[in-house]
Amino acid sequence: MTTILTVGTRKGMWIGRSEDRLDWSFTGPHHDMEEVYSCLVDTRRGTPRLFAGASSSWLGPQLRWSDDLGETWQETPNGAIRFPEGAGATVERIWQLVPGVGDGVIHAGTEPGAVFTSRDGGETFALEAGLWNHPHRNAWDAGFGGQAFHTVLPHPTDPDSITAALSTGGVYQTTDGGASWAPRNHGIRADFLPEEQRYPEFGQCVHKVTRHPSRPERLYAQNHGGVYRSDDEGASWTSIGDSLPSDFGFPIVVHPHRPDTIWVFPLGGGDRRYPPEAKARVWRSDDAGESWTPYDKGLPDTFYVGVMRDAMCADSHDPAGLYLGARNGSVWASADDGETWRQIVADLPDVMAVKVGVV
């Protein structure tokens, strides 16, 4: 089987291919000098379709796709992902691209904070108006990197249910196909607020949320200070980061076959955005966050850069492959559930997104 790895950077996108997950060949840059904050390897059609959410300083954001592993690219007509007239907003970046439930369904999360849905394979998109018109929206703030829906989690079997998260605003969920959205932040602490206000209804700076399709009621979240688990699809959250060296970080990834296994990449904190002691370590829990084990074999001991929210992912092999891209342009891979690592490409621009598919 062929493993396809897409790497979105601040100056284009690179595409890697491997038959054994040891030897890799890369092409790029695709979309040279454009920011690529989101990628998707959509394998639902048999033939993989690659998506890139690219943004040009001159022309703005554009969604492109390729059906030949990047040999040629097509653009969505007229930008496709854009606000309707009268919305009073313009899409600045596409932060998230995920497949939805049903043939041709794709969801996109953008900056400013909005979610769009396509039902024709990405050729056209419609704004999720119920979320955009939510009464909380005017109070959502912008995180350090901007205000964006960076997480969109369609329920694996219920097309009317989607969980989404943004910085800074928190977790929201719809169960009626987008007509209404409710905040799902109970138990998540907002350390940057005054002590008496640190558990608000909304306003948390969520960095990433994930879940396993076989257990959709369980969610995991990496926050701006805090790692959490929910066993009731976000109705309440419990801290699971106490035994980590730091509970600040960006990515959180669930194992493709084991819903109790998750990985995080802790950073020193909001004021020290590199790993504790500047040692690159991936921490894994095999018991849903009750305990954690660090893995560092092959990773560098001098690492003064971070790993962003969508720059770590897992493939569907068994044992699972894990991939992370860093802000120094290096990409690292593991073929054994994250226990040992090797660098597969270096000296790229600042890595923002790493996504994988197997065909």
Average pLDDT of span 272-292: 96
Pairing outcome for strands 219-223 and 227-230: antiparallel
Residue 29 C-beta-side C-alpha neighbours within 13 Å: 19
Give which of 291, 293, 255, 299 is closest to 274, Cα–Cα. Answer: 299
Domains and CATH numbers, the chain: 3-358 (2.130.10.10)
Q: For residue range 114-170, what is the model confidence (pLDDT) as tens digits?
A: 999 999 988 899 999 999 999 999 999 887 788 999 999 999 999 999 999 998 899
pLDDT for res 252: 98
Is residue 263 within 8 Å of residue 312, measured between CB atoms?
yes
- Calpha distance 273→269 (Å, rounded): 6
Average pLDDT of span 211-222: 96
Q: For residue range 236-255, what is the model confidence (pLDDT) as tens digits?
A: 999 999 999 999 999 999 99
pLDDT for res 305: 97
- Global confidence as pTM: 0.96
CA angle 66, 70, 73 (to 5 degrees): 45
Residue 271 C-beta-side C-alpha neighbours within 13 Å: 1
Q: For residue range 305-345, what is the model confidence (pLDDT) as tens digits?
A: 999 999 999 999 999 999 999 999 999 999 999 999 999 99
* 225 CB neighbour count, 10 Å cutoff: 20
E strands, 112-187, are: 114-118, 126-127, 148-154, 162-167, 170-174, 182-183
Residue 234 has pLDDT above 80, yes or no: yes
Residue 267 has pLDDT above 70, yes or no: yes
pLDDT for res 228: 98
pLDDT for res 322: 98
Residue 271 has pLDDT above 80, yes or no: no
- Calpha distance 39→45 (Å, rounded): 17
- Calpha distance 158→176 (Å, rounded): 10
Q: For residue range 73-89, what is the model confidence (pLDDT) as tens digits?
A: 998 876 689 999 999 99
Q: Note the residue count of the chain.
A: 359
Pairing outcome for strands 351-358 and 342-345: unpaired
Average pLDDT of span 219-224: 96
Contacts of 24 (CB under 8 A, 6+ apart): 5, 16, 17, 18, 333, 344, 345
- Per the prediction, the chain carries an average pLDDT of 95
CA pseudo-torsion sign 277, 281, 286, 288:
positive
